[in-house]
Amino acid sequence: MWLYEFLARLGLRQSYVAKIMLISFLGVHVPLIVLVAYVLVSADVSLMQSLPVLLVVLVATLIGAGVTLTALWMLLAPLRQASTSIHAYLSRRQIVPLPTRYQDEAGQLMADIQEGITRLDAALDSAEGAARRSEDERQGQFEMLSRMSHELRTPLNIIIGFSEVIQSQIMGPLGTDVYGSYAADIRASGLDLLERVNALLELSATKAGAFGGEEERREIDLGEALETVKGLQHFHGERRGVDIRLVPPARPILVRAEPRALKQALLHVVQGVVAGSQSGHYVLIKTAPGAGGTGAELIVTVPQAPFIADDLPRPLEPYFEGAPEGRQERGEILRQTSAQGFSLSVAAAIAVTQKIGLRLANPISGGRTVRMKFS
């Protein structure tokens, strides 16, 4: 490669054929120049006497060089044609046929390129077909889940509403306080189930590509987004007796994301850790500059309780550092998934689409931590 790189540095970057022509020209004319110099220096005849001979040699050499360079140009046709074929396919996906009946190195090169392009085109067609089928399947699943979630949410809202009526005794006193306790349990269970239905719909929307791509990403103030999320999760925390504490950043922290996707990712992170907390716990939300002074990091901490095995469904395992408490054996197939694990799975799916780093851990100091890194 050293000769190729040397000629490229001389300015012959654009044409491989020009490099070969230069070497051929020098190879033909350097001996001629040496011969002329030798004749002029060592011959006993005068310059005028040797001039006819030198002219004949020069003309013959020029003709020979021209014929040689033309032949080389023609022999390099397979290389030029192979390069044109590859470029046409990569730039326009146009297949230019190459002759494949020759047995030498150039013929083998063209045959290999033709076979490679044919295999690549077949693989791309197969991949595109599979992608279209997968997209149609995801869209169909999303539509089915949308209809199902509507059918589930309507009776759930009725159950929750009637349980609130019974619990508050709007229609009159209950015969015993036990019924009020039952109504409270029904209401809490209904709200939990409603949260899971909403999370399932959000997860299916993420898989169906509901969030915008790179063209819809823009700069968003992370502090303002967290204030909104805290307000939206206030009722959830109050219902569970969990205090949500936000430490506002000292200065605006701008992150790049699609607005709705960022909001949903933050909502599901906070909702998940709240769902995994008990009454009397608190959730601490704070931000920090990213490593090296670029980006930012969101840290959500619950100091009172660690992650357990049920908080980590299979999709979340790659995001966890270390091992959660109560890790089940690999041979145990059945594993329940908590509301916390389900919500964090939704957040993880959204984070992938927005190029947000997500890490879960049980710190040595105790509790559990969720970190989101923004580039």
Cβ distance 195 to 270 under 8 Å? no
The per-residue pLDDT for 6 is 64
Confidence band, pLDDT 50/70/90 cuts, at residue 325: low
Cβ distance 364 to 346 under 8 Å? no
Euclidean distance between CA atoms 113 and 109, whole angstroms: 6
pLDDT digits (tens, 9 = 90+) for 208-232: 555 555 667 788 889 999 999 999 8
Confidence band, pLDDT 50/70/90 cuts, at residue 298: very high
| Nearest of 361, 356, 349, 355 to residue 372 by alpha carbon | 356
* For residue 327, pLDDT beyond 60: no
pLDDT, greater one: 345 or 5 = 345
pLDDT, greater one: 76 or 8 = 76
Cβ distance 254 to 214 under 8 Å? no
Average pLDDT over residues 96-109: 81
Residue at token pair 């851990």: 361
Average pLDDT over residues 78-88: 86
The per-residue pLDDT for 103 is 77
Tell me phi and psi for residue 307, to 5 degrees: -70, 145
Cβ distance 272 to 343 under 8 Å? yes
Q: Find the range with the poorest average confidence among 117-131, 156-170, 200-214, 243-257.
A: 200-214
* For residue 25, pLDDT beyond 80: no
Question: How much of the chain exceeds pLDDT 70, in percent?
Answer: 75
Question: What is the strand order of the sheet 368-374 is part of?
Answer: 243-246, 282-289, 296-302, 368-374, 357-361, 320-321
**Which H or E run includes 360?**
strand 357-361
Q: Please give the mean pLDDT across all residues of the chain.
A: 78
Average pLDDT over residues 7-17: 64
Euclidean distance between CA atoms 355 and 11, whole angstroms: 41
